[in-house]
Copies of this chain bind each other. A is one copy, B any other.
Amino acid sequence: MSNRAVPDAATQVEIYRRMALIKANDERSRKVVMSGRLVMPYYSPRGQEVIPSAMSVNLNDDDYLCTIYRGTHDMLAKGFPLKDLWAEIAGRVDGTCKGKGGPMHLTYPEKGVMVTTGIVGSSMPIANGLAWGSQMRGDGRVTVATFGDGASNIGAFHESLNLAAVWKLPVIFLCQNNEWGEHTAYHKTSNVRVADRAAAYGMAGERVDGNDPFAMYAAANEAVARARAGGGPTLIEAMTYRFHGHVFGDQDAYMDKARKAEAMENDPVSRFRARLIADGISTEEQLAAMEAATEKEIDEAIECALASAFPGVEELKRDVFAEELA
């Protein structure tokens, strides 16, 4: 494990940029929902910023991602443009899905964001198909399926990991273990670590500290290299913690307060920020400027979104099939 890949300075900064973007976007999202300016089910990814950031710096735009309702962090890390995202969650016609998909179905094929699903476990079977396509084409692309700890107990997980292993598909199963599936603690729903299940498919697998950018980068780097080299799938269980309730409005009384406070104290975003400065990789000024730029981008995206029109009812007849319905 000592010879694992280490992100260079520029990559570290880039990982941080994505993390900071995710954090800022989440804070703004919660504010906007809280204020009632936007009404939507909002699943905060706060606390899970490292995972997709350290993963995605190992990916190209044309690598594929299948993510879930709790997925804005995955998408933003993959390069999903803020404007297309905000207009979509505002239900506007300029949204990436013309407002028809909403926060649980954000899609942006240009950056490889192929599917966002609201059905637990369902990112995985479809990810296999994308990976199978890449395998048939030999285009060297990698597909990442993200999902939660709770999703590791559903049938689709099993069928998908098995098929991927048998077919040696270039796919990465990225489990973000935030300790909770809605109100239920992971340890109440399984006797084992998620990563332990890789062995049940003859697949590479590991548990990694998903809040440590270096560990996460190394795991992602190896999994991506394995997939690109035709070495087949990898199951990564990235340990993290969900800072907020399951969905916006959930008062999270079921979450242990001390554990939560501890996790928030160890906020991976501020920790990594401090480390970048301490290690001389970046400076306070540089990071502050980056963060300010991000805030501005978010401002603009929200402004654009709210200025965009709502789709007309004729959209009910469109995109059901290729041909518009009569």
A197 to B202, CA, bound (A): 10
| A282 interface hit (Cβ, 8 Å) | no
How near does chain B come to A314, taking the closest CB pair, in angstroms?
A: 39
Q: How large is the interface on A (under 10, 10 to 19, 20 to 34, 35 or more residues)?
A: 20 to 34
Residues A162 and B156 in contact, CB atoms below 8 Å apart: no
Contacts of A202 in B (CB 8 A): 190-192
A189 to B163, CA, bound (A): 8
Which of A153, A158, A165, A201: most chain B CB closer than 10 A?
Answer: A158
How near does chain B come to A133, taking the closest CB pair, in angstroms?
A: 21
A134 to B275, CA, bound (A): 56
A153 to B203, CA, bound (A): 15
Residues A166 and B154 in contact, CB atoms below 8 Å apart: no
Residues B196 and A199 in contact, CB atoms below 8 Å apart: yes
Residue of B157, B165, B188, B199 near A158 (CB, 8 A) is B157
A237 to B153, CA, bound (A): 21
User: How many copies of the chain does the oligomer comprise?
Assistant: 2
| A200 interface hit (Cβ, 8 Å) | yes
Residue of B166, B188, B199, B201 near A188 (CB, 8 A) is B166
| A159 interface hit (Cβ, 8 Å) | yes
Interface residues of A in 148-187 (CB under 8 A from B): 153-159, 162, 165-166
Contacts of A155 in B (CB 8 A): 154-156, 158-159
- A153-B159, A153-B162, A166-B189 known; A200+B197 contact, CB < 8 A: yes
Query: What are 29 A-B residue pairs whose CB atoms fall within 8 Å in the complex?
Result: A153-B158, A153-B159, A153-B162, A154-B155, A154-B158, A154-B159, A155-B155, A155-B156, A155-B158, A155-B159, A158-B158, A162-B189, A162-B190, A165-B190, A165-B191, A166-B188, A166-B189, A166-B191, A190-B201, A190-B202, A191-B201, A191-B202, A192-B199, A192-B200, A192-B201, A192-B202, A196-B200, A199-B199, A200-B200
Q: A154-B158, A192-B201, A196-B199 are in contact. List 13 more A-B contacts (CB 8 A).
A: A153-B162, A155-B159, A158-B159, A165-B190, A166-B188, A166-B190, A166-B191, A190-B202, A192-B199, A192-B202, A196-B200, A197-B200, A199-B200
